[in-house]
Homo-oligomer: A and B are copies of this chain.
């Protein structure tokens, strides 16, 4: 059976794990990584034998057209980077995670994906992504009730970036700690700029939109080297729903996971890249995808094994 040819766009933390997840998929192969020309050859990350190209055109010239591209650049670049591939009729998968903009992403990508007869899967990570699917299934099983999504304990990329942008902070890591009922406290480790005080920085962090609604603790560490000691990739979710099926109350559902964050995100993106080759043209979130389409194997064998 011919392998699904995919490529990777952008080589940060997620890109590295995407290359590994493709390598671990018996039905897929990575034909190359597209990244900024100035980064090529300079990476500290293991490319596991994948060639690097400064543009899609050069990748295509050397290796042909991929069937799907895994977009591993930051969320704010996702639409632009997706478009680059979709305009060439290549499916895309991104892990766009700006929740309030997902619906408009779906609409915009849907238009160009349909007109180029390919598929775009957006918001394909664990939240948004598989958590979205669990929320949908929980609601289908227990339509009346409350779902709490409790994140952590783990590092939040968004909150860490917000803390680093605060005046007087030279480096920061923000840890999300669940405190029940879908609420969270934030533990922020900061490296202060010279002459700055922890009190002033804490005040500024507490006033920031990212932090103003949650309990906050700020701790100072002397160097980025020490910051690295609290900065691993462990994360988790506890999703809980209690409610009624039909007229029967006290139905209790929960999903709990403890994971390496970028490894899971990358694996979900790769499973979605497989699905992208099995769907009609258009843009999809994970709640729009038949789960069987994510898996290696033919449908009837998967039904025999999993249903």
Contact = CB atoms under 8 A, between A and B. Distances in A.
Interface string A51-63: 0000000000000
Contacts of A107: 300
A307 B143 contact: no
A268 B302 contact: no
Contacts of A263: 245-248, 251
A256 interface: yes
* Protomer copies: 2
Nearest to A19: B246
Interface in A51-101: 99
Chain A contact residues: helix, strand, loop or mixed? helix
A303 B285 contact: yes
Nearest to A236: B252
Given A133-B291, A245-B263, A291-B291, 18 more contacts: A17-B248, A21-B245, A21-B247, A24-B144, A99-B307, A107-B300, A128-B307, A133-B137, A134-B137, A136-B291, A139-B306, A140-B291, A142-B264, A247-B263, A248-B260, A253-B259, A256-B256, A286-B307
Interface of A: 17-18, 20-21, 23-25, 99, 102-103, 106-107, 123, 126, 128, 130, 132-137, 139-144, 244-248, 250-260, 263-264, 266-268, 270-271, 285-292, 294-296, 299-300, 302-304, 306-307
